[in-house]
Structure 1
Amino acid sequence: MQSSYRPPENFPLQGGARDRTVVISMPEHPKDYIVWSMASLYFGNPFCLGLLAFYFSIKSRDRKVVGDLAGARAYGSTACCINGWALALIILTIIIAIIVVVVTMSAVTRHFPSHSPYY
């Protein structure tokens, strides 16, 4: 996983013998989870959670463009949480579907034995 940390940049001041270094720390932009929200919207979308996550991702991106980093971080965190719940429900649904198919197939094969002439 790639880190988004960037070390502070140093810029020397104009001043002759007493040159000093100024450290400028740039604020880290919050994540908006837009790609994960689009994937949740397209694949599965249980209880419209993907749509809700997409909405909060767009709100986070809008807040980031305006310059409200605290609001963008809050909306991004909400989008991440909703995406997590959507992913958990999608995985749970797939597991339940696999179990139902396996149990149904085993019941059908037990109920209807093979119709071989040698049976």
Structure 2
Amino acid sequence: MQNSYRPMENFPLQGDAGDGTVVVSMPEHPKDYIVWSLSTLYFGNPFCLGLLAFYFSVKSRDRKMVGDLSGAKSYGSTACCINGWALALIILFIIIAIIIVAVTVPAIVDHIKSEPSYGKYPYGV
């Protein structure tokens, strides 16, 4: 099994050659977007996309722990894409709900005010 880590490279800092200070470049770990996936799962979860994004985030984290950084990057990218679509759908649903409430509430109020018994007490008080 090959290790997918890049070999570490040593870069001497600028200065005298005799300083002996070396900077070691570390491989960048791919993101797994697990917090975003949990937020999508908890707060929105349209069409179970939050659950799917959480699945790919966990797979990405597992691949990262094993050392497969290319697989972790692939799963993380998929989780990010699914979270983006879920966020877009959540925002769209909220906008549609606001429009529906803004249109129907005034219509209901006008209908109630046009009733012949509006403003009269039902028991003649």
TM-score tier, shorter chain, comes to 0.7 to 0.9
Name the structure 2 match of 1:52. 52
**TM-score under structure 1 length normalisation:** 0.77
SS at match of 1:85: helix
> Given the two structures, how large is their TM-score scaled by the length of structure 2?
0.74
Q: Per the alignment, do residues 91 and 9 of structure 1 end up closer, same or farther by CA in structure 2, a change over 3 Å counting?
A: farther
Measured against aligned partners, the alpha-carbon deviations of 1:29-48 in whole angstroms (never above 9, x if no partner) come to: 01000010011111110000
- C-alpha separation between the residues in 2 aligned to 1:18 and 1:80? 46
**Given residue 47 of structure 2, which amino acid in structure 1 is its aligned partner?**
F
| Alpha-carbon separation, structure 1, partners of 2:87 and 2:48 | 12
1:79-100 CA distance string (max 9 Å, x none): 0000010011111111111111
Rg larger for: 2
Greater Cα offset, 71-80 or 101-110:
101-110
Aligned partner letter, 1:96: I
Same amino acid, percent of matched pairs: 73
Aligned to 2:43: 43
Q: Secondary structure at the match of 2:113?
A: coil
| Residue equivalent to 1:99 | 99
Deviates further, 22-31 or 32-41 = 22-31
Return 5+ residue gaps in structure 2 as ranges. Answer: 1-8, 121-125
Q: Which moved more, 1:92-101 or 1:52-61?
A: 92-101
Residue 29 of structure 1: aligned partner = 29
Q: Structure 2: which amino acid aligns with 1:86?
A: A
Q: How far off is 1:103 after superposition?
A: 0.8
3-state SS in 2 of match to 1:112: helix
Residues 1-119 of structure 1 aligned to structure 2 (within 5 Å): 22-113=22-113, 115-116=118-119
Give the unaligned 5+ runs of structure 1.
1-7
Letter in 2 for 1:79: A
Q: CA RMSD in A?
A: 2.6
Q: CA deviation at 1:19?
A: 7.2
